[in-house]
Amino acid sequence: MIVTRFAPSPTGLLHLGHAWSAVQAHGFARAGGGRFLLRIEDIDGTRSRVEHVEAILRDLEWLGLDWDGEVTFQSRRLNHYADALERLRAMGLLYPCFCTRADIAASAAAPHGPEGPVYPGTCRGLAAPDLSRPHCWRLDVAKAHGEELWWHDAFSGWRRAEPAAHGDVVLARKDAPASYHLAVTVDDAAQGVTHVVRGRDLFAATDVHRLLQALLDLPVPEYRHHPLLAGADGARLAKRHGAPSLQAMRLAGEDGRALAEKLRAGELPVGIALLKD
Ligand code: GLU
Protein backbone atom coordinates (compact mmCIF):
# COMPACT_ATOMS: atom_id res chain seq x y z
CA MET A 1 0.00 0.00 0.00
CA ILE A 2 1.16 3.51 -0.80
CA VAL A 3 2.16 5.55 2.25
CA THR A 4 3.17 9.20 1.88
CA ARG A 5 3.71 11.94 4.41
CA PHE A 6 3.83 15.69 4.84
CA ALA A 7 6.60 16.66 7.24
CA PRO A 8 6.68 20.37 8.00
CA SER A 9 9.01 22.00 10.52
CA PRO A 10 7.02 24.25 12.87
CA THR A 11 9.62 26.99 12.75
CA GLY A 12 7.27 29.36 10.93
CA LEU A 13 3.87 29.59 9.29
CA LEU A 14 3.09 27.58 6.17
CA HIS A 15 2.74 29.38 2.84
CA LEU A 16 1.46 28.45 -0.60
CA GLY A 17 4.60 26.40 -1.35
CA HIS A 18 3.77 24.14 1.59
CA ALA A 19 0.15 23.81 0.47
CA TRP A 20 1.42 22.79 -2.95
CA SER A 21 3.67 20.13 -1.43
CA ALA A 22 1.00 18.81 0.93
CA VAL A 23 -1.53 18.59 -1.90
CA GLN A 24 0.93 16.52 -3.96
CA ALA A 25 1.66 14.08 -1.15
CA HIS A 26 -1.98 13.80 -0.11
CA GLY A 27 -3.22 13.47 -3.70
CA PHE A 28 -0.70 10.78 -4.57
CA ALA A 29 -1.69 8.69 -1.56
CA ARG A 30 -5.41 9.13 -2.04
CA ALA A 31 -5.29 8.41 -5.79
CA GLY A 32 -3.71 5.06 -5.00
CA GLY A 33 -6.00 4.25 -2.07
CA GLY A 34 -3.03 4.76 0.25
CA ARG A 35 -2.27 6.45 3.54
CA PHE A 36 -1.22 10.04 4.10
CA LEU A 37 0.68 10.76 7.32
CA LEU A 38 1.45 14.00 9.09
CA ARG A 39 4.78 14.33 10.87
CA ILE A 40 5.79 17.46 12.72
CA GLU A 41 9.57 17.88 12.45
CA ASP A 42 10.07 19.75 15.70
CA ILE A 43 13.52 18.44 16.50
CA ASP A 44 14.88 21.96 16.71
CA GLY A 45 13.64 22.90 20.18
CA THR A 46 14.90 26.46 19.96
CA ARG A 47 13.08 27.37 16.72
CA SER A 48 9.92 25.19 16.87
CA ARG A 49 6.79 26.85 18.27
CA VAL A 50 3.55 25.32 19.56
CA GLU A 51 1.54 28.06 17.86
CA HIS A 52 3.05 27.04 14.53
CA VAL A 53 2.03 23.43 15.12
CA GLU A 54 -1.52 24.57 15.81
CA ALA A 55 -1.53 26.71 12.68
CA ILE A 56 -0.27 23.76 10.58
CA LEU A 57 -3.11 21.53 11.79
CA ARG A 58 -5.71 24.22 11.10
CA ASP A 59 -4.22 25.05 7.70
CA LEU A 60 -4.40 21.41 6.59
CA GLU A 61 -7.99 21.10 7.79
CA TRP A 62 -8.80 24.34 5.97
CA LEU A 63 -7.30 22.87 2.78
CA GLY A 64 -9.37 19.72 3.30
CA LEU A 65 -6.27 17.54 3.54
CA ASP A 66 -7.13 14.81 6.01
CA TRP A 67 -4.33 12.66 7.42
CA ASP A 68 -4.41 9.10 8.70
CA GLY A 69 -3.73 8.15 12.30
CA GLU A 70 -2.09 10.24 14.97
CA VAL A 71 0.19 13.14 14.19
CA THR A 72 3.82 12.13 14.80
CA PHE A 73 6.12 14.55 16.64
CA GLN A 74 9.84 14.07 16.20
CA SER A 75 10.45 15.61 19.63
CA ARG A 76 8.80 12.47 21.11
CA ARG A 77 10.98 10.06 19.14
CA LEU A 78 14.42 11.07 20.38
CA ASN A 79 15.22 7.58 21.70
CA HIS A 80 14.93 6.19 18.16
CA TYR A 81 17.47 8.69 16.85
CA ALA A 82 19.76 7.95 19.79
CA ASP A 83 19.59 4.22 18.96
CA ALA A 84 20.50 4.88 15.33
CA LEU A 85 23.40 7.09 16.40
CA GLU A 86 24.61 4.41 18.76
CA ARG A 87 24.65 1.87 15.96
CA LEU A 88 26.64 4.17 13.71
CA ARG A 89 29.03 5.00 16.55
CA ALA A 90 29.57 1.30 17.23
CA MET A 91 30.51 0.90 13.57
CA GLY A 92 33.19 3.57 14.08
CA LEU A 93 31.56 5.93 11.61
CA LEU A 94 30.94 8.98 13.83
CA TYR A 95 33.31 11.53 15.30
CA PRO A 96 32.75 14.52 17.59
CA CYS A 97 33.29 17.94 16.06
CA PHE A 98 33.96 21.11 18.04
CA CYS A 99 34.03 23.61 15.16
CA THR A 100 31.70 26.60 15.08
CA ARG A 101 29.94 27.77 11.91
CA ALA A 102 32.40 30.66 11.79
CA ASP A 103 35.36 28.24 11.96
CA ILE A 104 33.99 26.33 9.00
CA ALA A 105 33.14 29.42 6.94
CA ALA A 106 36.62 30.81 7.62
CA SER A 107 38.35 27.66 6.48
CA ALA A 108 40.04 28.33 3.16
CA ALA A 109 39.86 24.60 2.49
CA ALA A 110 36.07 24.50 2.67
CA PRO A 111 34.71 23.67 -0.79
CA HIS A 112 31.11 24.39 -1.62
CA GLY A 113 28.53 21.59 -1.55
CA PRO A 114 24.81 21.35 -2.29
CA GLU A 115 24.00 23.02 1.06
CA GLY A 116 26.77 25.56 1.49
CA PRO A 117 30.36 25.14 2.62
CA VAL A 118 31.41 21.53 3.00
CA TYR A 119 32.99 20.70 6.34
CA PRO A 120 36.74 20.44 5.77
CA GLY A 121 37.19 17.56 8.23
CA THR A 122 39.11 19.53 10.86
CA CYS A 123 38.04 17.32 13.79
CA ARG A 124 38.22 14.00 11.94
CA GLY A 125 40.77 11.79 13.67
CA LEU A 126 41.29 13.89 16.83
CA ALA A 127 43.34 11.73 19.18
CA ALA A 128 41.74 12.64 22.50
CA PRO A 129 38.55 14.66 21.98
CA ASP A 130 37.36 16.47 25.10
CA LEU A 131 33.65 15.58 25.17
CA SER A 132 33.00 18.02 28.02
CA ARG A 133 33.17 20.80 25.40
CA PRO A 134 30.13 21.53 23.18
CA HIS A 135 30.24 19.30 20.15
CA CYS A 136 28.16 17.76 17.40
CA TRP A 137 28.59 14.32 15.86
CA ARG A 138 29.53 13.95 12.22
CA LEU A 139 29.42 11.01 9.87
CA ASP A 140 32.76 10.04 8.37
CA VAL A 141 31.34 9.82 4.86
CA ALA A 142 34.49 8.54 3.15
CA LYS A 143 34.65 5.65 5.61
CA ALA A 144 30.89 5.03 5.50
CA HIS A 145 30.36 5.09 1.75
CA GLY A 146 31.64 1.91 0.15
CA GLU A 147 29.45 0.29 -2.48
CA GLU A 148 27.58 2.24 -5.15
CA LEU A 149 24.17 3.34 -3.95
CA TRP A 150 21.22 4.23 -6.14
CA TRP A 151 17.79 5.69 -5.59
CA HIS A 152 14.88 6.43 -7.89
CA ASP A 153 12.96 9.62 -8.44
CA ALA A 154 9.66 9.37 -10.29
CA PHE A 155 10.40 12.58 -12.21
CA SER A 156 14.18 12.35 -12.75
CA GLY A 157 14.82 8.61 -12.95
CA TRP A 158 17.68 6.66 -11.37
CA ARG A 159 20.39 8.54 -9.54
CA ARG A 160 23.67 7.32 -8.11
CA ALA A 161 24.09 8.80 -4.64
CA GLU A 162 27.04 11.11 -4.11
CA PRO A 163 26.91 11.71 -0.38
CA ALA A 164 30.56 12.81 -0.33
CA ALA A 165 29.50 16.04 -2.05
CA HIS A 166 27.90 17.03 1.28
CA GLY A 167 31.05 16.32 3.28
CA ASP A 168 30.89 14.81 6.75
CA VAL A 169 27.29 15.73 7.58
CA VAL A 170 26.12 16.40 11.13
CA LEU A 171 23.91 13.63 12.54
CA ALA A 172 23.55 14.96 16.10
CA ARG A 173 23.72 18.68 16.65
CA LYS A 174 25.19 20.66 19.51
CA ASP A 175 21.73 22.00 20.30
CA ALA A 176 19.53 19.10 19.15
CA PRO A 177 19.89 15.35 19.68
CA ALA A 178 19.51 14.54 15.99
CA SER A 179 19.87 16.36 12.69
CA TYR A 180 17.28 16.58 9.95
CA HIS A 181 19.11 13.95 7.87
CA LEU A 182 19.08 11.34 10.61
CA ALA A 183 15.55 11.97 11.91
CA VAL A 184 13.92 12.03 8.49
CA THR A 185 15.60 8.79 7.42
CA VAL A 186 14.78 6.93 10.62
CA ASP A 187 11.19 8.16 10.61
CA ASP A 188 10.37 7.48 6.97
CA ALA A 189 11.44 3.87 7.58
CA ALA A 190 9.69 3.56 10.96
CA GLN A 191 6.45 4.90 9.52
CA GLY A 192 6.57 2.62 6.49
CA VAL A 193 6.65 5.53 4.04
CA THR A 194 6.76 4.03 0.55
CA HIS A 195 6.83 7.30 -1.42
CA VAL A 196 8.63 10.41 -0.20
CA VAL A 197 6.86 13.32 -1.87
CA ARG A 198 8.70 16.59 -1.26
CA GLY A 199 10.17 19.61 -3.01
CA ARG A 200 13.15 19.60 -5.31
CA ASP A 201 15.08 21.64 -2.74
CA LEU A 202 15.66 18.34 -0.92
CA PHE A 203 16.75 16.37 -4.00
CA ALA A 204 20.49 16.46 -3.22
CA ALA A 205 19.90 15.67 0.46
CA THR A 206 18.45 12.33 -0.61
CA ASP A 207 22.00 11.15 -1.41
CA VAL A 208 22.77 11.42 2.31
CA HIS A 209 19.51 9.70 3.26
CA ARG A 210 20.31 6.86 0.87
CA LEU A 211 23.67 6.33 2.58
CA LEU A 212 22.02 6.28 6.01
CA GLN A 213 19.47 3.75 4.76
CA ALA A 214 22.30 1.48 3.63
CA LEU A 215 24.17 1.82 6.94
CA LEU A 216 21.09 1.26 9.10
CA ASP A 217 19.55 -1.51 6.95
CA LEU A 218 16.45 0.51 6.20
CA PRO A 219 14.15 0.12 3.20
CA VAL A 220 14.60 2.59 0.34
CA PRO A 221 11.41 4.43 -0.59
CA GLU A 222 10.55 5.79 -4.01
CA TYR A 223 11.07 9.55 -4.28
CA ARG A 224 8.92 12.20 -5.94
CA HIS A 225 10.73 15.53 -5.75
CA HIS A 226 8.21 17.96 -7.18
CA PRO A 227 9.03 21.37 -8.67
CA LEU A 228 8.90 24.33 -6.31
CA LEU A 229 6.71 27.40 -6.69
CA ALA A 230 8.09 30.80 -7.63
CA GLY A 231 6.57 34.23 -7.04
CA ALA A 232 6.18 37.07 -9.54
CA ASP A 233 9.91 37.85 -9.19
CA GLY A 234 10.78 34.35 -10.42
CA ALA A 235 12.40 33.47 -7.08
CA ARG A 236 11.34 30.52 -4.96
CA LEU A 237 8.36 31.31 -2.75
CA ALA A 238 9.49 31.92 0.78
CA LYS A 239 7.97 33.61 3.74
CA ARG A 240 10.92 35.95 4.04
CA HIS A 241 10.19 37.19 0.53
CA GLY A 242 6.67 38.08 1.53
CA ALA A 243 4.76 34.95 0.46
CA PRO A 244 1.47 35.24 2.36
CA SER A 245 0.96 32.59 5.02
CA LEU A 246 -1.86 30.07 4.74
CA GLN A 247 -2.98 31.30 8.14
CA ALA A 248 -3.42 34.83 6.78
CA MET A 249 -5.41 33.50 3.82
CA ARG A 250 -7.52 31.35 6.13
CA LEU A 251 -8.25 34.21 8.53
CA ALA A 252 -9.10 36.45 5.58
CA GLY A 253 -11.93 34.02 4.79
CA GLU A 254 -10.48 32.51 1.62
CA ASP A 255 -11.76 29.09 0.58
CA GLY A 256 -9.03 26.56 1.39
CA ARG A 257 -10.72 23.58 -0.23
CA ALA A 258 -11.16 25.49 -3.47
CA LEU A 259 -7.48 26.45 -3.35
CA ALA A 260 -6.43 22.82 -2.80
CA GLU A 261 -8.70 21.74 -5.64
CA LYS A 262 -7.00 24.20 -8.00
CA LEU A 263 -3.51 23.18 -6.91
CA ARG A 264 -4.46 19.54 -7.44
CA ALA A 265 -5.48 20.41 -10.98
CA GLY A 266 -2.17 22.21 -11.51
CA GLU A 267 -3.82 25.63 -11.59
CA LEU A 268 -1.60 28.13 -9.83
CA PRO A 269 -2.80 31.46 -8.41
CA VAL A 270 -2.08 34.63 -10.40
CA GLY A 271 1.58 35.63 -10.17
CA ILE A 272 2.71 32.13 -9.15
CA ALA A 273 4.60 29.79 -11.48
CA LEU A 274 6.73 26.67 -11.26
CA LEU A 275 10.31 27.51 -10.37
CA LYS A 276 12.67 26.95 -13.31
CA ASP A 277 15.80 25.07 -12.33
N1 GLU B 1 10.86 19.22 7.56
C2 GLU B 1 11.36 19.51 6.26
C3 GLU B 1 10.99 20.91 5.86
O4 GLU B 1 10.04 21.46 6.40
C5 GLU B 1 10.85 18.60 5.17
C6 GLU B 1 11.31 17.23 5.35
C7 GLU B 1 11.03 16.29 4.20
O8 GLU B 1 9.99 16.39 3.55
O9 GLU B 1 11.85 15.41 4.01
O10 GLU B 1 11.63 21.47 4.99
Strand partners, 139: 94
According to CATH, the topology of domain 3-76+227-274 is Rossmann fold (3.40.50)
Residue-wise pLDDT for 247-259, tens only, equals: 999 999 999 999 9
Given a cut of 90, whether residue 181 has pLDDT beyond it is yes
Banded model confidence at residue 77, pLDDT cuts 50, 70, 90:
very high
Beta strands 3-6 and 116-117 are unpaired
In the prediction, which pLDDT does 114 show? 82
In the prediction, which pLDDT does 200 show? 96
Given a cut of 80, whether residue 176 has pLDDT beyond it is yes
Give the lowest-confidence range in 26-30, 43-47, 182-186, 246-250: 43-47
How far is residue 203 from each of residues 126, 166, 207, 270, measured CA to CA in Å?
32, 12, 8, 27
Q: Where are the domains of the chain?
A: 3-76+227-274, 79-172
How far is residue 186 from each of residues 23, 41, 90, 193, 196, measured CA to CA in Å?
24, 12, 17, 11, 13
What average pLDDT does the chain have? 94
Give yes or no for residue 202 CB within 6 A of ligand 1. yes
Residue-wise pLDDT for 106-151, tens only, equals: 876 767 788 778 899 999 999 999 999 999 999 999 999 889 999 9
Q: How far is the CA of 129 from the centre of ligand 1 (A)?
A: 32
Given a cut of 80, whether residue 241 has pLDDT beyond it is no
Task: Give 108 or 243, the one with higher predicted confidence.
Answer: 243
In the prediction, which pLDDT does 108 show? 66
In the prediction, which pLDDT does 233 show? 87
Chain-centroid distance, C-alpha 268: 24
Q: How far is the CA of 184 from the centre of ligand 1 (A)?
A: 8
Give yes or no for residue 9 CB within 6 A of ligand 1. yes
pTM above 0.85, yes or no: yes
Give yes or no for residue 8 CB within 6 A of ligand 1. yes
Q: How far is the CA of 193 from the centre of ligand 1 (A)?
A: 14
Query: Is 3.40.50.720 the CATH classification of the domain at 79-172?
Result: no
Q: How far is the CA of 9 from the centre of ligand 1 (A)?
A: 6
Nearest ligand 1 atom to alpha carbon 11: 4
Banded model confidence at residue 2, pLDDT cuts 50, 70, 90:
very high
Banded model confidence at residue 274, pLDDT cuts 50, 70, 90:
very high
d(CA 100, CA 8): 27
In the prediction, which pLDDT does 177 show? 87
DSSP string, the chain: --EEEE---TTS--BHHHHHHHHHHHHHHHHTT-EEEEEE----TTT--HHHHHHHHHHHHHHT----SPPEEGGG-HHHHHHHHHHHHHTT-EEEE---HHHHHH-TT--EETTEEPP--TTTT-SS--TTS--EEEE-HHHH--S--EEEETTTEEEE--GGGG-S-EEE-SSSSS-HHHHHHHHHHHTT-SEEEEEGGGTTHHHHHHHHHHHTT----EEEEEPPEE-TTSSBP-GGGTPPBHHHHHHTT--HHHHHHHHHTTPPPTT-EEPP-
Give yes or no for residue 184 CB within 6 A of ligand 1. yes
Give the lowest-confidence range in 20-24, 60-64, 100-104, 148-152: 100-104
In the prediction, which pLDDT does 101 show? 85
Give yes or no for residue 238 CB within 6 A of ligand 1. no
Which residue among 24, 71, 202 has the greatest number of ligand 1 atoms within 8 angstroms of its CB, and so is best to mutate? 202
Which residue among 198, 201, 246 has the greatest number of ligand 1 atoms within 8 angstroms of its CB, and so is best to mutate? 198
In the prediction, which pLDDT does 206 show? 98
Banded model confidence at residue 104, pLDDT cuts 50, 70, 90:
confident
Q: How far is the CA of 7 from the centre of ligand 1 (A)?
A: 5
Q: How far is the CA of 251 from the centre of ligand 1 (A)?
A: 25
Q: How far is the CA of 8 from the centre of ligand 1 (A)?
A: 5
In the prediction, which pLDDT does 276 show? 85
Which residue among 37, 38, 151, 184 has the greatest number of ligand 1 atoms within 8 angstroms of its CB, and so is best to mutate? 184
Nearest ligand 1 atom to alpha carbon 18: 4
Give yes or no for residue 138 CB within 6 A of ligand 1. no
**Distance from first CA to last CA of the chain, Å, rounded?**
32
